[in-house]
Amino acid sequence: MNESKPTYEELEAELKLLKQECLDHKLIERAYLDSEEIGNALLNASDEPIILIKPDGMVISINSSAASVFEKTKRDFIGKNYFEVIPDSSNSSLKKQIEIIVETPQTITYEETINSKIFKISMYPIIDNTKTVKYVAIFKQDLTNIIGAMKSLQESEEKIRAMSEASHDALVMINSEGKITFWNPAAEKMFGFSSSEAIGTEVHSLIAADENDIKNAHKGLKHFAKNGEGKAIGNILEFNAKKKDGFIFPIERSVASFQHGKEWYAIASMRDITERKIAEEKLYNMAIRDPLTNIYNRRYFLKLSKKELERCRRYRHPISFLMIDADNFKQVNDNFGHETGDVVLKIIADIASSTLRESDIFGRIGGEEFGLLLPEANIETALDVAERFRQTIEKNVLATGDGIVKTTVSVGISCLDEEHQSLEDVMKHADIALYAAKGKGKNRVEIFTN
């Protein structure tokens, strides 16, 4: 199991504990009052730096730990005045503390920096039977590592906090129960929940839009709590999220896990990909749709038609093909202009799109020619569709600044049969029927016959 690093709060609690802790100076006090030899032995056995001085500053005893703090030996101190051995600017404060202790016996604690190290100084009076302060015991506890670790961790947390606040991506951390423990400003902006509203809430129930996603996530949390693993960990996934107001939008999410103590946590970076999805949809439509009429272009129409025809052939289902051509289209362009001709093509496409079934496939073959594939449609059904479509177009009238434009279409129909099985065959036969309709006066429907 990984050894967890202490948090800033844990280090701070440890520091407070050290500051509140009282060393058992009474034991040393009793020993010195009974026997200086026993007192010295006890003092020297301590790992903590301890100095014993008289009220006038004379050093009675000092252990090796205390002497090393000042980079000196015990001999440098014993029998000498502490303030002469250590002519430090802080001594005036120390003298004042001793005066206070002598006048009113009490324990005094403060912090002091010695040779770039931070110490907790605890001063205790040792009182004889006459209630006179005979000695002052000075204990020094090295806080350098703890305070340094606190400062380092605090700086690290401040950097992480600054980076998370500067991030345009939502950064969210959860525990093994799925409850939110961190929620950066970008998450507030993205989802509409403030940090105080989000923290402590189960993340999937809060922001996931799909009920199945929520159920699957709750199942996955049980596995995640054991080993920090799951389908989302280490992968970039897309799913639909919801804002506070209920608005649903797509996001991209990447998740990493880590262990702190015995518990697993996950931190997710989430990005709103609405604009990207719109751009992808536009690019996709540009690849498959005719830019003028917004119906399928020739390439994609043929691709879908071939696939659907193969399906109907495999299951022996009927399928029909309609070739549609705008009548007198060159005259429309010549008499009214190409812009009007474009409007005519759009009208044909719009009328067809509004009347077709979802399974029907409609596309612009080229110029003023359109193709329509009708799955599950026999010749009678195809003829009915073609006639209704022709009649609707015939009734349509387009008013322009140069006059009235009346549009009609000719339609040729072919069906899949035992002899002719390919898309090329049915298109060729529908084209033959179309030209027959043109030859018979236009604005009519013809069926291909062998």
pLDDT greater than 50 at residue 406: yes
Residues 371 and 305 sit within 8 Å (Cβ to Cβ): yes
Name residues whose C-beta falls within 8 Å of residue 340's C-beta, 6 or more positions apart in sequence.
332, 333, 398, 400, 402, 405
| DSSP string of 193-211, one letter each residue | --HHHHTTSBHHHHHB--H
Q: What are phi and psi of 277, to 5 degrees?
A: -65, -40
Q: What pLDDT, on the 0 to 100 scale, is given for residue 155?
A: 60
| DSSP string of 64-106, one letter each residue | HHHHHHTT--GGGTTTSBHHHHS--TTHHHHHHHHHHHHHS--
For residues 382-387, give the mean pLDDT: 96
Q: How confident is the model at residue 38 (pLDDT cuts 50, 70, 90)?
A: very low
Q: Give 182's strand partners.
A: 173
Q: What pLDDT, on the 0 to 100 scale, is given for residue 251?
A: 94
Q: What pLDDT, on the 0 to 100 scale, is given for residue 10?
A: 61
The closest alpha carbon to 414, from 355, 372, 367, 365, belongs to 372
Residue 391 burial (CB count, 10 A): 12
Q: What pLDDT, on the 0 to 100 scale, is given for residue 159?
A: 61
For residues 165-191, give the mean pLDDT: 88
d(CA 239, CA 271): 11
Q: What pLDDT, on the 0 to 100 scale, is given for residue 240?
A: 95
Q: How confident is the model at residue 152 (pLDDT cuts 50, 70, 90)?
A: low
Residue 45 burial (CB count, 10 A): 9
The closest alpha carbon to 299, from 343, 356, 361, belongs to 361
Looking at per-residue pLDDT, the higher value among 400 and 187 belongs to: 187
d(CA 445, CA 442): 8
pLDDT greater than 50 at residue 43: yes
Q: Which two tokens stand for residue 423?
A: 């898309």
pTM: 0.57
pLDDT greater than 60 at residue 417: yes
d(CA 44, CA 143): 21
Q: How confident is the model at residue 306 (pLDDT cuts 50, 70, 90)?
A: very high
Q: What pLDDT, on the 0 to 100 scale, is given for residue 77?
A: 86
Q: What pLDDT, on the 0 to 100 scale, is given for residue 2?
A: 46
Q: What pLDDT, on the 0 to 100 scale, is given for residue 375?
A: 95
Q: What pLDDT, on the 0 to 100 scale, is given for residue 45?
A: 46
- Among 43-57, 179-193, 307-321, 333-347, name the one with the lowest average pLDDT: 43-57
Q: How far is CA 240 from CA 165, 179, 214, in A?
A: 24, 19, 11
Residue 419 burial (CB count, 10 A): 7
Best mean pLDDT range from 95-99, 168-172, 391-395? 391-395
Q: Give 414's strand partners.
A: 321
Q: How confident is the model at residue 89 (pLDDT cuts 50, 70, 90)?
A: low
Q: How confident is the model at residue 35 (pLDDT cuts 50, 70, 90)?
A: very low
Percent of residues, the chain, with pLDDT higher than 90: 44
Q: What pLDDT, on the 0 to 100 scale, is given for residue 307?
A: 94
Residue 299 burial (CB count, 10 A): 10
For residues 413-440, give the mean pLDDT: 90
The mean predicted confidence, pLDDT, of the chain is 83
Q: What angle do CA 333, 448, 364 make, to 5 degrees?
A: 35
